[in-house]
Structure 1
Amino acid sequence: MDPAGEPGSARRPLHIAMVAPPWYHVPPRGYGGIESMTADLVRGLLARGHRVTVIGAGEGADLRTYDEPPSGRIGEPFPEVVHAAKATRFLRRLAPDVVHDHSLAGPLSACGRSTPTVVTCHCEVAGELGDFYRALGAAVSLVAISWSQRAAAPDLNWVARVHNAVDVGTFPFLGSKEEWVLWLGRFNPDKGAHLAVEAARAAGRSIVLAGRLTEECEREYFRERVEPLLGPGVEFVGEADAALKRELLSRARCLLFPVQWEEPFGMTMIEAMACGTPVVALNRGAVPEVVLDGVTGHVRDEAGQLPRAIEEAGALDPAAVRAHTLRSFDVSVMACAYENVYHRVLRAASRKSRHRLPMAR
C-alpha cells in the first residue's frame, strides 16, 4: 500500500503555499503538464477545506513572480532563479503550515525555514537532478509521481508516491470513437512522434499530431524527423490549447504514446483515458503503472508491435476506460493523498521539534 494512502488522525484545515514553476499560467492555456496538475491539485485541496496560496507566474497565481510567464525563455537559468528568490520572499510573509514546491530552484530555500517543504519530483531523478535532491537531504520531503521514478534513486528522502491526476469531469466522454489516431506532446525525440506516424501508417490509419515547438531542440527534431513525414494521412495542427486538446482526445480512436525514455509519468495518458480513449504505449517508465493493459489501453515492448495494438484498441470499452481513470487518477484521489503527506510531514516536524535538547542556561 502506498504510504500516502494511509489513514491519518483527525484532520485540521491547513494553509498550504503552492509554488508552481514560472514558465506557464496556472492552469496553462496550452502545453504545461506541471502547471495543469498544480491547478487541479489546488482545486482539490480547496474542496477539502484547506486554504491554498498559489505562488507562480501570470494568471492563476495569488502572488506573482512574473506578470507574464517567460515561456519563450525555457531552458535559461535566470527565470528560475528570479522566481525562486521572489517566492522565498513571499513565503517569509505568508508563514504557511506547509510549502509544496513544484519548481526546480525553489527547494534551495527550504534549508532556511522551519516550515516543512514538500517537493513533487516531476522529472527524472537520475544524474544531476538526483544529486541536487540528495544534497538537500532532509530539508525537503520528496514525493515521487510513480514507483518507476522512485526506484531510479531509492536513497533520496522519499516520503510517498502520489500519482498525478486530472479533474476527470472536465474531460468530455465519447462512447463512439473516430477512425484516426492521435499523438500529443512536445516535439522532443524522447516522445517518439516519428514512431507514432510510422505505426499509424503501418496500421493503415491517419494520424493527427498536436504538439509544442518552443525550444530549439524541438524545432530541430521536427524539421529533421517529423516534417518529412507530413502529407496524406498525417496532419499537424500545432500546439493544442485546453479546448482543442479535449476535443482531439475525446474523438481519437486511441492516443499513441511511443515514449523513448523512462518517463516518470505522462499526463497525456490519463487525459486521454479520462475521455474514454485508450492509450497504445511502449513499456517504458511509468507506462505500466498508468495504463491497465487490456482495459485502458495496450502496453507493448517494441515499436513494431504498435500497429496491431492500434487495431486491438478499437475493441476496448470507452466506458471502462473512463471508469478506471475516475477511480485511480481523479483529482479527488490525488488531493486526499497529498493531504495525508502534509499531515505526515507536519507530525514528523513536530516530533523533531519536541526532541531537540533545550539550550544550556
Structure 2
Amino acid sequence: MDAQSDEPMTIAVIGPSRFPIREPYAGGLEVVVAKEVAALRSRGHHVTLFAAAGSEGHDPRFEFTAMSGVAGFGDSFYPKGGYEADAAEFHRLMDHLAESRFDVILNHSLSHVPLIRAAEMDARMITTLHCPALAPMQDAFDQFGGLTGMVHAVSRSVLGSWRVPQGAEVIPNGVETRIWRPHPPSATTHTSGIPPRAVWCGRIVPEKAPHLAVDAALRAGMELDLAGRIGDDRYMRTVLAPRLRQAGDSVRFHGALGRESLVPLVARASVALVTPCWEEPFGLTAIEPLACGTPVVALARGGIREILRGQPGVVLVDPGRDPASALAAAVPVALTFDRVATARAAAAAFSHERRIDRVEARLRALPIGVAG
C-alpha cells in the first residue's frame, strides 16, 4: 500500500500492562492510549488494541494479566517474579505481531520487550516515551540502537532523560475539548460570592504530591476537592491521610472518578493546583483544567515548565524550599484570569485532534511494509 494514500491503515497499539484501558482511567498514560485508539478508529483505520485485562475494545486473546489487580506500595511495584511474568506476556504478544499483517505498531508500553523485538517485525514500530528513562528500556536502546524502531516523546523534557540513538520527534499530548470544556458557574467559583474552591486531580503517589495541594489550599484559606486513584498505599497512609484528617471538612477526597464526575468538578473549580515533585513528563492534569477555563497554579517542573510557560491562565511557581506557601501566594493572581480566554487558548494549543493529525501524518509518511 502507498503510505501517502488515504486508504485505511491496519494498526496495532500496544498499551501499558499494569492497568486496564477503561474508565476511570488509572493515569494519563491510559487516557492517551484510549483516546488515540478511539480517534484513529473514528478516522477509518483498523486498530487492534493490546492491553491489560479488563480493558475495553482490546484483543482479549493477548491481554496482559501478570500485573492485573496486583496491590503494592507503588505504581512501579512488582511482586516476586512479576517483572519476568510481565515480560513473558510481552514476548508472547510480539510473537503474534511478528506473524501478523499490520502496517504499523504503536508502542505505548513501559516494557523493554517491544524494543528488543522491533527488528523482527514486518511492520514499522513507533515507541512513545511517556515517562523518564526506565533502566530496562534504556538498556534496549543502548544495546540495539536504531533497531528498536522509531521514537516519539511527549515533551522535550522527558526526551532529555533518555539516550535515543536514532533521535525522536516530540508530539505533545492533547485533550478532547468536547469533553474538557467550560461549564456553567456554580457556588464553587469565586464569581458567585462564595469563597473560592480549589481542585487537585491525579494519581495519589509521592511524585504527584497531593499533600502539597492540601497544605497550599489551607494556607490560602480555600476548600479543596481532591480526586485520584491511590497508587501508593504507604504514601496515602503516612503522608496524605493525616493531612486529610487534620483538614476536616475543608478537603473532600473523592477517590478515582470517571469523566462524567471529574470534568464538572474541575470545570467548576476556582483554581486547579498542580504539584509535581518530580520532573513531570507532560502534565495532562494541568491541560485539562485549562481547557475548561479553570486557571492553574503549578510547580514549574519538567514538562509543566516547558509546555505551560507563557500559556494564558497559568501561574508557574518555583518549587523552592516551601512550595506550599508559594502555591498559596500565587492563587490570588490566578483568580483574576479570564476563564473564557483561558479555555480558548488551551483548546488552540492542546487540541487532541491536532495531536492525532500529527500522528496520522507521521504514519502516512512511513514506507509501509519495510521494517526498521
Interval containing the TM-score (normalised by the shorter chain):
0.7 to 0.9
Find out whether 1:226 has 2:226 as its counterpart.
Answer: no
Q: Could you tell me which of 9, 33, 55 is aligned with 1:59?
A: 55
1:16-38 CA-to-partner distances (Å, cap 9, x unmatched) read 11111123332343423212111
Alignment of 1:124-135 (within 5 A): 124-125=132-133, 129-135=137-143
Q: Could you tell me which of 308, 311, 324 is aligned with 1:291?
A: 308
Find out whether 1:318 has 2:333 as its counterpart.
Answer: no
CA–CA separation in structure 2 for the residues paired with 1:323 and 1:154: 36
Change (3 A) 1:338 1:294: closer
Give the aligned partner of residue 185 of structure 1: 202
CA–CA separation in structure 1 for the residues paired with 2:163 and 2:98: 32
CA contact (8 A) 2:50 2:63 kept: no
Alignment of 1:259-298 (within 5 A): 259-293=276-310, 295-298=312-315
CA contact (8 A) 2:311 2:345 kept: no
Q: Could you tell me which of 145, 163, 178 is aligned with 2:172?
A: 163
CA contact (8 A) 1:17 1:55 kept: yes
Alignment of 1:4-153 (within 5 A): 11-57=6-52, 58-64=54-60, 65-66=62-63, 70-72=68-70, 75-76=77-78, 77-78=83-84, 80-105=86-111, 106-107=113-114, 108-125=116-133, 129-139=137-147, 140-153=149-162
Tell which deviates more after alignment, 329-338 or 45-54: 45-54
Change (3 A) 1:244 1:175: closer
Give the aligned partner of residue 341 of structure 1: 362
Structure 2 unpaired stretches of 5+: 190-195
Structure 2 letter corresponding to 1:99: I
CA contact (8 A) 2:183 2:264 kept: no
Percent of residue pairs bearing the same amino acid type: 27
TM-score normalised according to structure 2 size? 0.83
CA–CA separation in structure 2 for the residues paired with 1:192 and 1:295: 24
State how many pairs are aligned.
Answer: 341
1:55-76 CA-to-partner distances (Å, cap 9, x unmatched) read 1233323312338781335633
Change (3 A) 1:254 1:136: farther
Instruction: Please provide the CA RMSD for this pair.
Output: 2.6
Tell which deviates more after alignment, 57-66 or 29-38: 57-66
Question: Cα distance, 1:10 vs. partner?
Answer: 5.3
CA contact (8 A) 1:120 1:142 kept: yes
TM-score normalised according to structure 1 size? 0.85
Change (3 A) 1:94 1:128: closer
Alignment of 1:296-311 (within 5 A): 296-302=313-319, 303=323, 304-311=325-332
CA contact (8 A) 1:22 1:83 kept: no
CA–CA separation in structure 1 for the residues paired with 2:342 and 2:139: 38
**What's the secondary structure of 1:346's corresponding residue?**
coil
Question: Cα distance, 1:128 vs. partner?
Answer: 5.2
CA contact (8 A) 2:228 2:256 kept: yes
1:163-221 CA-to-partner distances (Å, cap 9, x unmatched) read 1122221224225362211121122221121211111111111112222224xxx1211
CA contact (8 A) 1:293 1:299 kept: no
Change (3 A) 1:155 1:33: closer
Change (3 A) 1:235 1:160: same
CA–CA separation in structure 1 for the residues paired with 2:85 and 2:342: 39
The structure in which a higher percent of residues are helix is: 1
Change (3 A) 1:338 1:225: same
CA contact (8 A) 2:27 2:202 kept: no
Structure 1 unpaired stretches of 5+: 1-7, 354-361
Change (3 A) 1:94 1:166: farther
CA–CA separation in structure 1 for the residues paired with 2:342 and 2:122: 44
**What's the secondary structure of 1:289's corresponding residue?**
helix
CA–CA separation in structure 2 for the residues paired with 1:45 and 1:184: 27
Give the aligned partner of residue 212 of structure 1: 229
